Amino acid sequence: MSKLETIAIDGPVAVGKSVVGSLLAKSLGYRFLDTGAMYRALTWKALQLGIDLNDEEALSKLAAETEINITSAGSDDGCCLILINGRNVSPETRREEVEKSVSLVARVAGVRKAMVVKQLMLASKGKVVMAGRDIGTVVLPDAKLKIYLSASPKERARRRYHELLERGVQTGYDKVLSDLNKRDKLDSERALGPLRPAVDAMIIDTDGLDVEQVLARIVGTIEEVQ
């Protein structure tokens, strides 16, 4: 597996990138970097500071000046811990107000440019599985293996709905679907790094597939690439 230094996994919200990516990284002995967690962490900090989410200059400045790191050390579920200036803010990044606002922050060009710099630094040591929205197209365009996970909005909303219920968040399926469609629109229509598969990405439709089946397809592809 040594020749495959970087693996890019992209896809829309609630498609399973983090779960699949973390399991894949573990099976390969690689690091897993969830770039979505970085944007959520920055969004949380912006909300904490009371920054207007329409103030692109302030958000860009915040992104450039904030130290954001990702580590799996101390994580109980195999996913990443997100650190801001050395503080673990992972629980805060999953708050409802953060989830609702993250696409507004992520669409800002200055924010994305600052984040890409940080992501490249994190990926520079190699042997990494990186998940996000623009990894194969912007962050790691030279990755030897690029995966794009897709699923219907209804299926993704169903998954997110049950995930939220398990976390004790009371909501309704229709609201989850509406919020998901809004995020898809923002993510796919932003000017810089829009959500789309790389031209050379392997696209996997995860409708009707469980995590193990998706993982098996990716592992099979890795064996072919090697």
Q: What is the pLDDT along the chain (226 residues), one digit of tens a residue?
A: 346 889 999 999 999 999 999 999 999 999 999 999 999 999 999 999 999 999 999 999 999 999 998 876 545 445 678 999 889 999 899 888 998 899 999 999 999 999 999 999 989 988 999 999 999 999 999 999 999 999 999 999 999 999 999 989 899 999 999 999 999 999 999 988 999 999 999 999 999 999 999 999 999 988 776 6
For the domain covering 6-225, report its CATH number.
Answer: 3.40.50.300
Write down the pLDDT at residue 72.
63
Write down the pLDDT at residue 208.
92
b/e map of 170-192 (b: 16 or more CB within 10 Å)? eeeeeebbebbeebbebbeebee
Write down the pLDDT at residue 79.
61
Q: Are 194 and 184 in contact (CB under 8 A)?
A: no
Coil, helix or strand for 65? helix
Q: What token pair was written down for 156?
A: 């993704």
Which residues are CB-neighbours of 136 under 8 A, at least 6 positions away?
8, 10, 143, 146, 147, 148, 197, 198, 200, 201
pTM of the model: 0.91
- By the 10 Å C-beta count (0-12 exposed, 13-18 middle, 19+ buried), 61 is classed as middle
Say how many C-beta atoms besides its own lie within 10 A of residue 207's C-beta.
11
Distance CA 199, CA 202 (A): 9
Distance CA 17, CA 26 (A): 14
Backbone angles phi and psi of 27, in degrees to 5:
-70, -30
Write down the pLDDT at residue 194.
93
